[in-house]
Amino acid sequence: KAIKVGINRIEFSTTENYLTLEKLAEAHQIDPAKYLYGIGQSKMAVPTPDEDTISIAANAAQDVLNTMTPEEVNTISTLIFATETGVDQSKSGAAYLMGLIDIHPNCRAFEVKQACYGGTAGLQMACDMVRARPDESVLVVACDIARYQQNTPGECTQGAGAVAMLITADPDIIEIDAERGCYSADIMDFWRPNQFKHALVDGELSKDAYLNVMTSSYQGYLVNGGKPLDQLEWLCFHQPFTKMAKKAFEHLSAQYPEQMADKTDAAYSISQQYGREIGNTYTASLYIGLLSLLDNAEQDLTGQTIGFFSYGSGAVGEFFSGTVNKNYRHAINTLANQQKLAARTALSYDTYCQYMYQLRDYDQANIRYNPTSGSNFRLAAIHDNKRVYERVL
């Protein structure tokens, strides 16, 4: 009998502050309805200079470790960190995490990159590792800060956040099916040369590439024995902005009208509730979407199958599926997740501009930007080009 593997724990984290898209629209002197409905975003997570992809990721990863016994932590054989906005060209974010979170040193730790697809690369690699060695578990952490040039069309889709997932045999939350369909091609739709802090993007090409790669990935998934759309109760899409997920739904509906006949995009918008309030989190976005669905669907999802589409510009896509386990409600911290979003602080447009575009990585004076923060970790200084993190709680 095939071993069941998948997500046993999942936690997310985001920044302490946000900007409402009404304020951004006001500053840009455009109708706020474009951002709220045309793009489908309401808030953008904004990092302070002492929040980076390591500190945000460490918060999510530690939340997973806090749910585990020391014996369970000892089963972790591998720590995979996925990001496209890492802090170092050589040292992996995973190596930084080894010094911050309560994990043991006898595991392999490394970083993976392929734009927003990296989280899925990590998840699928982890599932295959656990299929081969079911007594071991793998911690997958995905984190990004989405940053575009100021006053460009991408600005309203910025965001920041992390997700941490523990992959085990007999998972409590969702079993990931072995069937998957991948599609990779060399496409110049979104990229970030080494010397750039912000991403460069061909917006129209990126939307087309996303939809075309989705169709090819779904076809590959079917060829590999995957379930047709009418056997997938839910769909969860990569969400660069929530309107893109709606476009993905509409694209599949146009291409496969019979298989999609009983589906409404209103139902799928449950998976977009968190993303709408956080913005793009690149590698973490699909899995924050999953958490949004698990936390906010009123009905019991036990036994229901979710189809996932992961897209990373450049481009790699993957369509896969998973079935929700009966224990899922006990294994997720819905109240804590909702509180993480509710406890954030709204910024003025001017402060947002300072944090996002003027101040760079934390430097010199020891300013703690979020003194009442519930976060465990922050970037405390950069000395001699070495990043120094601090455990706050």
CA–CA gap between residue 313 and residue 72 (Å, rounded): 35
Binder of ligand CAA out of 20, 42, 48, 157 (CB under 6 A) = 157
What φ, ψ does residue 2 adopt, rounded to 5°? -65, 145
**Binding string, residues 8-37; x marks residues near ligand CAA by CB under 6 A:** -----------------------x-xx--x
- Residue matched to tokens 């089963």: 75
The residue number whose beta carbon is nearest to ligand CAA equals 38
C-alpha to C-alpha distance for 125 and 385, rounded to whole angstroms: 32
For residue 162, whether the previous peptide bond is cis, meaning omega lies within 30 degrees of 0, is no
Asked if 355 and 48 touch (Cβ cutoff 8 Å), the reply is: yes
Burial class (CB in 10 A: 0-12, 13-18, 19+), 112: buried
- Region of 106-114, 126-134, 153-161, 355-363 interacting with ligand CAA (CB under 6 A): 153-161
Q: What are the residues whose beta carbons fall under 8 Å from the beta carbon of 192, sequence distance 6 or more? A: 84, 85, 198, 199, 200
Q: What are phi and psi of 307, to 5 degrees?
A: -95, 135
Q: Does position 211 bind ligand CAA by CB under 6 A?
A: no
Q: Which is nearer to ligand CAA, 153 or 228 (CB)?
A: 153
Q: Which is nearer to ligand CAA, 192 or 227 (CB)?
A: 192
- Is 196 an interacting residue with respect to ligand CAA (CB under 6 A)? no
Residues tagged active-site: 84, 116, 238
User: Please, what is the minimum distance in Å from the beta carbon of residue 123 to ligand CAA?
Assistant: 17
Among residues 59 and 281, whose Cβ is nearest to ligand CAA? 281
Least CB distance to ligand CAA at residue 247 (A): 7
User: In the window 222-241, what residues touch ligand CAA (CB under 6 A)?
Assistant: 238, 240-241
**Considering the rule CB under 6 A, would residue 145 count as an interface residue with ligand CAA?**
no
In terms of Cα–Cα distance, which of 241, 231, 289, 303 is closest to 262?
A: 231
- Provide the binding-site residues for ligand CAA, judged by CB under 6 A: 31, 33-34, 37-39, 116, 153-154, 157, 190, 201, 203, 206-207, 210, 238, 240-241, 243-244, 280, 282, 311, 313
